[in-house]
Each structure stands twice: as C-alpha cells, then as structure tokens.
Chain A
Amino acid sequence: MTSPTWNNPVVKWIEYRLPVFSFTQEHLIDYPTPKNLNYWWNFGSLAGITLTIMIVTGIVLAMHYTPHVDYAFESVERIMRDVNYGWLIRYVHMNGGSMFFAVVYIHIFRGLYYGSYKAPREMLWIIGIIILLTMMATAFLGYVLPWGQMSFWAATVITNMFSAFPLIGEPIVSWLWGGFSVDNPTLNRFFSLHYLLPFVIFGLVFVHLWALHVHHSNNPLGIDTKGPQDILPFHPYYTIKDLFGLGVFMLVFLGFVFFAPNFFVEPDNYIKANPMQTPTHIVPEWYLTPFYAILRAITFDIWFIPAKLIGVMAMFGSVLILVLVPWLDTSKVRSARYRPIYKQVYWFFVIDCIVLGWVGFNSPDAMFMGAVSFLRIGQVATAYYFLHLLVVMPVLGKLERPRSPPESISAAVTKETDTVTEAA
C-alpha cells in the first residue's frame, strides 16, 4: 500500500524527523490482515489490553502498598477500606490476573488448533511461550505481596522447589530468600521484581508483534494470503471487531469484579501470614493448578534421580516443551480444519489440560467418586500431556492424510457463496 502524504506542517516536520505517522499508518491502519479471521483471533488484542489494565492498576496500587512484613497485609486492607476507590482498583488488578491467563490460554490453544506456530511463525510462537513463563513468574510474585497465609506458603513451596537441584539447590534457595526462610528481605525483592516484570512482558509483547508483522496473521484456513483479494486493512475492519470482542470480555471481567470479586481466591489469604503454621490445604491459583498437578504426579524415583527433582523438572519441562511444538508437529498442513484425526486428539489434549487443572485443586490422597485417587488421575493425565506432545503430534503428522485446503482465502469464500447460491 502506498504511504499517504500529510499536509499539516507540524505533522510533516515531525514525520521527517521521526516517521511515527507513517509507522502508525503502516502497522495499525493499513496493516494487511486475512479477511477470514474468526472470533478466536480476538484474544491477542484482549491480552494486550489486559496487560495495559494490569500495569495501570498496578502502578496505582504501588502508591498505597507497603512491602514490609509488618505492614503489607494491613496496607492491602487499608487499600480495600480507606483509599478512594481502592477496593475497585485492587479487585480489578486481582481478577485481572485471572482474566489475563484466561485470554492468553485461549490465545495459545487457538494457535495450537490452527497451526499458527508453523513456518514461518516459529519465532512468534517461541516469544509467546517466553511471555507465558514471564507471566507465571509475575503472577507468583504478585500473589505473595498481600502477605496472607496463601501468599506466604506459596512463596515457601515454590522457592523450595529449587532445593531439589543437587549441590546448587540450597544456596539458590537462601539466595532467593535473602535469609533462612521466606521473610522481609524476600517480600522486598518480590515487590521490586513484581514491578519490573510487567515491563519486561511489555517489551516481549513488542517483539512478539514485531515477529507477527513480518509474516502477518495466520487464519482459520491455515493457508498463506495470495493477494489483495485475500486481505482487509486492519482499520476499521479489525479495530471494530476487536472493540466488539472487548465489550463482551469486559462484561465477563467486570461481572467478576463487581459481583464475585473473590471468586478466584482462597479465603485463607485473608488471614495474615503465619510462618509457624501451614494451612491444611494449599492450592495455587487456578491458572497454575495444571502445572501443580504435574509436580505432584511424580511420586517415584527413576534410577538415582529422586522423585522431588523429577517432579520439578516435569513441571518446568511441561512449559518449556511447548517451545519445540513447531518441530514436534510434523504435518505440512497448518489448520486442524483439514486434519481429520488431529482435530479430535486436539480436543483430547484440551480436556487433558482441564483435567490436570482440576486434579491440581484437589488433595492427591482424596478419592474421586470413591474409586480412584486424584494422584492416579494426575499421573495418567501427566503421562498423556507428554505423550501427546512428544509422540502423538510427530507420528500423526507423518501418518495422517489431511484433506486439501482451498486454493486461497478468497477462493474458499467464493466457493461457499456459490454453494449457497446453488442451494438457493
């Protein structure tokens, strides 16, 4: 598309020195977008908007929060009771964390279904996984700040994971703590890092978008755009579609904020941290329970490697392995629409992840329907998680006979219209 010229002398003066106007024109207005994107493509922009909401509310909360073991819990209560609109800002930030993970998980599963990670978008996918990891670290650090019982014991359990590594484990843990247990130095540094990491995420999102804008969006057909007949300018077609999606999303988000603000939290986190007493039932936030289930699924040593270390490695591995997905999926066809078998195992994988999340909520010794322990269900679900990524995806890509995708995006649309006309 040709770059427009501006007549306003001020715009011209700035444009000549810093081409911000043509940049905006190229990347936010004329940006070529496949014309067949469905609503699953809304979740990227929703994630970006949620990140912005989190940063804005977070900066404001930091103006009232005190990162000291004697005052942290009280300062959060003060935000809730005394600070003007403090309750609203905190509830938006608190539920925003859950919303952020919800939209990002849907965004990732959309990528998995339509093969958005395949060449030439591998870097785009890998940066996305790095963003997910950074989000997890940020969420964990933020969860510690209110200094409730769950905050304290989450900090203790998660930092203790590093003690599983031989030799370097114990020094790493005491380095993370700045002492011999989770205490004031820990809270201080967690606050510092929780303030830092969202800006790191912001930078990573910029790189993510940079990679996106090199080869542009994938689409539900998983085929490349072939020319102007396949694309639409981003504005106004997708700005308006994203805006509509935002409206729907805000209904859900604010529904939680105003009508069930504590839906996602454990009541124990409204009890001030007590280093001398562990709550009877420790669970992470819902968005981390699948990984918690994988951690707890490993109860057996393998050769000389202790169960604890394998559990920790399996948990970290379950996220890191996603980096390899572009190569683990050997199929030449991107979209699951044209892969009759993958389409089914994909949903099996989705269910498997939900099962892991549900197992992570329950005590491993508890029985499901009095028949099978949650530990056993977690072990089976963990096994399938890795089996799906390491065996099913590579083998299926070789064996499956995909249907052939249409010639082009516009051809697919014209064909559908023809069929409709014929039927009519």
Chain B
Amino acid sequence: MTDAPTAAAGAPHEGETRRDFLLIATSVVGAVGTALAVWPLIDQMNPAADVLALSSTEVDLSPIEVGQSITVVWRGKPVFIRRRTAKEITRAKADDTSDLPDPQADADRVQKPEWLILVGVCTHLGCIPLGQRTTEPRGDFGGWFCPCHGSHYDTSGRIRKGPAPENLAVPKYVFVTDTKIKIG
C-alpha cells in the first residue's frame, strides 16, 4: 500500500493531512484533560469547608474601659479592639489631612469613633504590631509599632512610617447590640 490516501482531497491546505489534524486534536484534548485533572490537586490546598465555617466571632465590649485595648482571635488572626480616648480620636481626625501613605479618613475606618476595630496583622509581612498594652511601644504616632521591620501606625491604625504599604485592615463587623459586635 502507498500512503497516497493520507494526502487525499479534503485536506484543507497543501501539505496538511487528516493525520496532522488528528495529532493536533488529540494533543489539545490531552492537554485540556490533563489541566482539568490537575485542578483538584491544586484546589485541595485552598481553605477547606471547616476552615471557612469558622469565619465569624462575637465579642462582648462591655468590660473594656476607655483607653483599654483587647485582642480577640478571628480566623486564626488577632483582631485589635481599642476603646479610644477623646484625645486619641481628636488626634486621629486631625491627622486626616496629614501626608498619609495610604490616605483614608478616620471616619471611614470606624463605625463609632470610640471603637477602633482592626486586623492586628502588619500589612508588610504579617507580624503582629506592638501597642495593645500601654507598656508596649506604640511608635511615633501613638498607635502601634511593628518590631519586625519598623512600621509605625497612628491612632486610627493608618500606616505613617516604615515599609508597610497599607493601613491596618478593618474587618467586616456589625454592632449586634450597643455593647456587642460580630466580626466576619
């Protein structure tokens, strides 16, 4: 037998054969099939259902005095809750017009000015800033100071100095009652 039939009429262009088409089609199906088969192996590393289920935390605010801070755990991360003094609130508002690396007004970062609620994770490389206790260093702006790489946050949790690119994140939360919040 000769190979004449493979180059028979019906081939779309000179030099292309049914065999070329079949080779390409098989390769494409094989590649797509492999990609689909690999996806579960990649996606299994994403947060699992039980991890996602632990996504909200309720906190009772009543025992916190003015000027006090507490740290609660939400999704394995610390959340800073600070009951700010009148002085701290005034300072945060006054700084709205300062030169901020990540500009945001204090009013946009709190629901009630007295309660500042933040994810306590430095936006640089994820260390936990100091400043929750009054004995800890609070940096040059009276908020928090990250010891790992020297980022300073102000009384609104905004980045003021150091390598961190963003303000401390404000988590999603709602006031369930006047003295109770639900984070997440």
Which residues of A approach B to under 8 Å, CB–CB? 153, 156-157, 159-161, 163, 174-183, 185, 189, 275-278, 280-282, 296, 299, 306-308, 311, 363-365
Contact = CB atoms under 8 A, between A and B. Distances in A.
Nearest to B73: A276
Interface in B58-107: 71, 73, 75-78
A108 B46 CA distance: 37
Contacts of A185: 47-48, 51
B170 interface: no
29 contacts: A156-B125, A156-B126, A157-B125, A157-B127, A157-B148, A160-B126, A161-B125, A174-B46, A174-B47, A176-B45, A178-B45, A178-B47, A179-B76, A180-B47, A180-B51, A181-B76, A185-B48, A185-B51, A275-B73, A275-B76, A275-B78, A278-B127, A280-B147, A306-B165, A308-B165, A363-B150, A364-B149, A364-B150, A365-B150
B181 interface: no
Contacts of B45: 175-176, 178, 189
Contacts of A153: 127, 148
A189 B45 CA distance: 8
B135 to A, nearest CB: 13
A181 B122 CA distance: 13
* 8 smallest beta-carbon distances between A and B, as pairs: A181-B76, A180-B75, A160-B126, A278-B127, A157-B125, A160-B125, A278-B128, A156-B126
B163 interface: yes
Given A176-B45, A185-B48, A278-B147, A157 B126 contact: yes
Interface of B: 42, 45-48, 51, 71, 73, 75-78, 124-128, 146-150, 163-165
B165 A179 contact: no
Contacts of A175: 42, 45-46
Given A160-B125, A296-B149, A364-B150, A276 B47 contact: no
A317 B42 CA distance: 26
A276 B125 contact: no
A277 B165 contact: no
Contacts of A163: 126
Contacts of B71: 276
Contacts of B127: 153, 156-157, 278, 282
A66 B114 CA distance: 45
Contacts of B76: 179-183, 275
Contact of A307 (B75, B77, B147, B163): B163
Contacts of A296: 149, 163
Contacts of A311: 163
B165 to A, nearest CB: 5
B81 to A, nearest CB: 14
Contacts of A156: 125-127
Contacts of A174: 46-47
Nearest to B75: A180
A2 B161 CA distance: 71
Q: In this complex, which of B51, B77, B126 has the most chain A Cβ atoms within 10 angstroms of its Cβ?
A: B126
Contacts of B73: 275-276
Given A156-B125, A160-B125, A178-B46, A276 B78 contact: yes
Contacts of B147: 278, 280-281
B125 A181 contact: no
A280 to B, nearest CB: 5
Nearest to A159: B126
Given A296-B163, A307-B165, 18 more contacts: A153-B148, A159-B126, A160-B125, A160-B126, A175-B42, A178-B45, A178-B47, A179-B47, A179-B75, A179-B76, A180-B51, A180-B75, A183-B51, A276-B78, A278-B127, A278-B148, A281-B147, A308-B163
Contacts of A282: 127, 148
A389 to B, nearest CB: 25
A177 B126 CA distance: 13
